[in-house]
Amino acid sequence: MSYDFDLFVIGGGSGGIATARRAAEYGAKVGVAEYDRLGGTCVNRGCIPKKLMVYASHFPELFTDAEGYGWSAVKSQLDWPKMMTAVNGEVTRLNGIYQRMLDNSKVEFLHDRAKFIDHNTLQVGDRIVTADKILIAVGGVPVRPDIPGIEHALTSDDIFDLPTQPKKMVILGAGYIGCEFACIMNGLGTEVTQIIRPDLILRSFDRDLRLAVQEGMIHHGINIINHACDLSIAKTDDGVSVTVTTKDGTQTILADAVSLAALGRKPNTANLGLENIDVKTHNGAILVDTNSQTNIENIYSVGDCTDNIQLTPVAINEGRAFADTMFGNKPRTMNYADIPTAIFTTPEAATVGLTEEEAREMHGDNIKVYRSSFRPMYYVLPAKQEKTLMKLVVDTKTDRVLGAHMVGEHAAEIVQGVAIAVKMGATKADFDATVGIHPSSAEEFVTMR
């Protein structure tokens, strides 16, 4: 049977575009449908604009740090509209780059919603298209939980569209997105309260890392209310009020805005017509095998809409592995072991491999932990009590480093390099035999005893 496309991709985010371009390089005729801006969550409402705001939030600290090094005091004030115009301008520039990448790869772009009619047929706007293989890469959307007054809350997407900076803000939840936004807004001068249900933020990360980040956030002025068991939101004349009940009683916080940034995201699989093709899902996530294949032979899925790890580089690698296998005659699968990740909080954190808790569950008492906490030299002259944490989790039977964790300045940059060693199976002896770069914080990873 003849089809319009060899491959049609639903979703123009990082995973979808990477797949489409790689398949086109192998000679496949490829189409992409995206109803929103190209680049997906990462470019438009996630990694890129968020990281630019992280940079902006660090300048007040840098101004005061400079005084410790002999520079005169700086008086500066944030121009919120100017910052957001610059951030959104960079997003627009990247949208154009993604469009040119598709054009240069001879990938046909359809700027509209796609919906399944059958296993090989899609309705894209007012057009019907057919494809031999179809890849679903629609990403995720923010979760709106069942909380009284939830309609008065912002999502993580909405923060990028705020016309003015909130003077006071409440952030709900303990996830990494919310923690990052709490630190961003706090650094920019907003008074931030973060409400969480557990005792610590960042569930599933190493406990020492979680504790160090939370203590650092509190040290920088964020008010964290933990053990929340009930809450509600109400509109007021001046903004919103959030009433929260903890084991210590009930209190109400008045703010200009409340954000659900920390309550996570869910697969963006509604209105795709999946019911027309009987693709199996779990809690909205598309179920796939190691080859990104669904239960339907010619339909595949990658990225945040699946039940795998939700990170941009993972979606890109999944997509390229699919294209290499199906169109490049280079069969391979995505390896999910030892994937590094970072949390761009203040202090920053990064991690690769197993947490101490995971390692002990898998290896019992055959685990040794190396841990170092210190004040980096940078903070000596500004006389600031900022701490860096570094940690290695080692299997005593093999001496292999199973996990590396860091909280502190440049954690992401440092752990990216350490991740290569962990991925290659480096031992603690390999770390010990490596000469450190002195003076640097990173050298602590090869000098811990």
Are 19 and 113 contained in the same domain? Answer: yes
Q: Which of 44, 47, 14, 49 is nearest to 32 (CA)?
A: 14
Are 310 and 369 contained in the same domain? Answer: no
Spot the catalytic one: 152, 219, 282, 438.
438
Q: Which two tokens stand for residue 87?
A: 């951030």
Q: What is the mean pLDDT of each run of 10 residues along the chain (449 residues)?
A: 96 98 98 97 95 98 98 97 97 97 98 98 98 98 90 90 96 94 98 97 97 98 97 95 96 93 83 96 95 98 95 97 98 97 98 98 98 98 97 98 98 98 98 98 97
The confidence score (pLDDT) of residue 206 equals: 98
Are 10 and 125 contained in the same domain? Answer: yes
Q: Which of 387, 379, 392 is nearest to 407 (CA)?
A: 387
Residue 416 to residue 394: CA distance in whole angstroms: 18
The confidence score (pLDDT) of residue 261 equals: 65
Residue 413 to residue 77: CA distance in whole angstroms: 29
Q: Is residue 336 part of a domain?
A: no
Are 134 and 181 contained in the same domain? Answer: no
Q: Which of 340, 344, 392, 357 is nearest to 217 (CA)?
A: 344
405 assigned to active site: no
Instruction: With beta carbons less than 8 A apart as the criterion, state whether 115 and 279 touch.
Output: no
Instruction: With beta carbons less than 8 A apart as the criterion, state whether 443 and 432 touch.
Output: no
The confidence score (pLDDT) of residue 82 equals: 98
> Where does a domain end: 300, 327, 354?
327
- CATH number of the domain enclosing 404: 3.30.390.30
Instruction: With beta carbons less than 8 A apart as the criterion, state whether 243 and 231 touch.
Output: yes
Are 176 and 212 contained in the same domain? Answer: yes
Residues sharing a CB contact under 8 Å with residue 62, sequence separation 6 or more, in sequence order: none
Are 211 and 190 contained in the same domain? Answer: yes
Domain with 345, as residue range(s), is 341-446
Into how many domains does the chain fold? 3
Are 49 and 92 contained in the same domain? Answer: yes
Instruction: Report residue 287: phi and psi, to 5°.
Output: -85, 130
Are 235 and 282 contained in the same domain? Answer: no
The confidence score (pLDDT) of residue 1 equals: 80
Residue 160 to residue 259: CA distance in whole angstroms: 12
Residue listed under structure tokens 């398949």: 23
Instruction: With beta carbons less than 8 A apart as the criterion, state whether 443 and 436 touch.
Output: yes
The confidence score (pLDDT) of residue 262 equals: 62
Are 156 and 48 contained in the same domain? Answer: no
Residue 417 to residue 406: CA distance in whole angstroms: 12
Q: What pTM was computed for the model? A: 0.96
Q: Is residue 335 part of a domain?
A: no
Which residues are registered as beta bridge partners of 154? 259
Helix (H) or strand (E) holding 108: strand 108-110
Are 248 and 307 contained in the same domain? Answer: no
